Amino acid sequence: MRFHFSPKTPLFSLSSSSITSLCLRPFLPSAPKSPFYPSLACHVSTGGNLRMDSTSPDPSSSSSVSVDSVADGLKNQSLREHDISNNNNMNNENKKNNGKLSLEDLNWDHSFVRELPGDPRSDSIPRQVFHACYTKVLPSAEVENPKLVAWSDSVADLLDLDPKEFERPDFPLKFSGASPLAGAVPYAQCYGGHQFGTWAGQLGDGRAITLGEIMNSKLERWELQLKGAGKTPYSRFADGLAVLRSSIREYLCSEAMHFLGIPTTRALCLVTTGKFVTRDMFYDGNPKDEPGAVVCRVSQSFLRFGSFQIHASRGGEDLGIVRSLADYAIRHHFPHIENMSKSESLSFSTGDNDQSVVDLTSNKYAAWTVEIAERTASLVARWQGVGFTHGVLNTDNMSILGLTIDYGPFGFLDAFDPSYTPNVTDLPGRRYCFANQPDIGLWNIAQFASTLMTANLISDQEANYAMERYGTKFMDDYQAILSQKLGLQKYNKQLVNKLLSNLAVDKVDYTNFFRALSNIKADPSIPGDELLVPLKAVLLDIGKERKEAWTSWVQSYIQELVASGISDEERKASMNSVNPKYVLRNYLCQSAIDAAEMGDFEEVRRLLKVMERPYDEQPRMEKYARLPPAWAYRPGVCMLSCSS
């Protein structure tokens, strides 16, 4: 499949139908005419086959490495079918603290390994793994007096885990992977992906090991995963470990994004291993030893676009795995789609031709694809709203649940720069820069849709409809978000475009500007020389010409506010509820990392507490809303590599 994005049309001038003006060439991102909104145009060719140009070597002929008795016990553990109703009628003696559980009493389920094909081998020798969705493998990171240094009570609550369990002496051993967790069946997932637009073949969990799924008292399924727990068959030439700096960043950002209201994976805890890991942070031939760590990630599923791509790329019998995996995902994570009926009449026209109709009730896979597209579009719109740049939007880093996943070289905008990328590897083409994220989201959806076409699960018409829905959903959500950030009841394209242009020209801090904007009064009688007083703290070092440009914009903005008829007090409260005062700026992360590498984790914990209330004023915490200091622009702070 080949795809192309046209950079010629500013996003908000697109109609939903224009998303289908599509041609087929490899995506090579170029600077959009509008520096803020890339165009959204993509198409799947009729009857095409997925071509990823990867060749897979034969499976290793070497015999499986023998494993210790713990591995044997896990390998032979019965994966019985769980009767959920019985599991929820646990004996009272197994519960404590108002229904909260000990680690031993967590309600494990293992649907992924029970219902999907697995690797017959259980060793961690790097190799191509065929005809399997996972490999059972034990955590193997070496530890020396591991320590629990940060934890989340709110994530523990999702699991019905008693927060007192964090105080257990053996907790660091269990969540570094050094000691088995009762009931867990560890495995690493097999997946592939497009990296920077090029098919990379098999990737997989190279340093993440899933322990299993927890069913909580609300019948919610939560997957626990240790990142940095050791080698797997998917580690390739790497060591399967993670360093403290990257683990702190992932731990803090996954929680910060949750409290911003953005769908994300979560983090239960962070454990230091007591061992050092060698890393070349900038890939410049200067490696150094860094403290090792393991973060426990939590998500309802870690399935990615690449989880399906790898099997479609191999063709043949593996196309059946794509269907099985889709059935599994729908059954456990999209059950409403499984239960759709014809009476819902979810039929949509895809063009002027009356024959061009997509009936989502006649094909659950089409309905599923559309929902994934819309979830992804909504997620990206929310990123754009808070100025978040993911940095590595490869298809293996795209969640089918529409979650932010895999925090590497991410960054929140400081000075507004649409071309900002926090990833040094992305610098040559800035494929994953802030302004390109909407287009990249669509490109990734196109790859996912073509995967399902290859497996004969959806038609090209259904694939194109899913991409059309992505464009429509993104524009609807983003326009609504911008209107809320401005305190307006309806979207004003001209006002928004002029604002974003001004922000870029004067490199205004994105977060602080919108927070300060709520101080503008809806009073057209304010003298012109006083209009910018509420924005004085964010409009820094601007000359006369730029002051005039901003004054003109504020005058237009006040006219919109007056027309809305909302009181200043009500609008300010509403705007402050969507415009955070605090975001996890990279320099804040680095300050916490610097202290942690010296053995002081108080700043990590303090920073997490601030990020748990991003929309509140939080007196005495104002320093966490300050502009980045000069040192924040050094390499390794404002921009990072994928090294972890």
Residues forming the active site:
396
- Letter for the amino acid at 411? G
- Letter for the amino acid at 31? A
| 18 DSSP assignment | G
Cα-to-chain-centroid distance, residue 525: 45
Handedness of CA 393, 396, 397, 401 (dihedral sign): positive
Cα-to-chain-centroid distance, residue 76: 34
Does residue 522 contact residue 487 with C-beta atoms inside 8 Å? no
| 504 DSSP assignment | H
**C-alpha–C-alpha distance, residues 275 and 289, integer Å:** 9
Does residue 32 contact residue 435 with C-beta atoms inside 8 Å? yes
Q: Give, in order, the Cα–Cα distances in Å from 95 to each of 90, 102, 107, 211, 430.
A: 8, 7, 11, 22, 52
Question: Helix 437-454 crosses helix 319-333 at what angle (to 10 degrees)?
Answer: 120
**C-alpha–C-alpha distance, residues 230 and 155, integer Å:** 24
Helix extents (H) in 525-565: 544-564
Residue spans of beta strands (DSSP E) within 32-101: 95-96, 100-101
Phi then psi for residue 137, to 5 deg, are: -155, 145
Q: Which among 214, 331, 260, 301 has a CA at the least distance from the CA of 511?
A: 260
Residue 552: count of CB within 10 angstroms of its CB = 14
**C-alpha–C-alpha distance, residues 263 and 496, integer Å:** 25
**C-alpha–C-alpha distance, residues 285 and 29, integer Å:** 29
Q: Give, in order, the Cα–Cα distances in Å from 333 to each of 158, 222, 452.
A: 17, 11, 18
**C-alpha–C-alpha distance, residues 421 and 12, integer Å:** 22
Altogether, the residues listed in the chain come to a count of 644
Residue 12: both structure tokens together: 């908000």
| Beta-bridge mates of residue 299 | 223
Q: Give, in order, the Cα–Cα distances in Å from 188 to each of 123, 157, 311.
A: 11, 25, 16
| Exposed e or buried b per residue across 202-211, where buried means at least 16 C-beta atoms within 10 angstroms of its C-beta | bbbbbbbbbb
Does residue 104 contact residue 88 with C-beta atoms inside 8 Å? no
Write out the DSSP string of 143-209. -SS-EEEEE-HHHHHHTTB-GGGGG-TTHHHHHTTSSPPTT---EEE--EEEETTEEEEE---SSEE
Q: 3-state DSSP call for residue 304?
A: strand
Question: What Rg do the C-alpha atoms of the chain give, in angstroms?
Answer: 25
**C-alpha–C-alpha distance, residues 131 and 20, integer Å:** 35
Q: 3-state DSSP call for residue 476?
A: helix
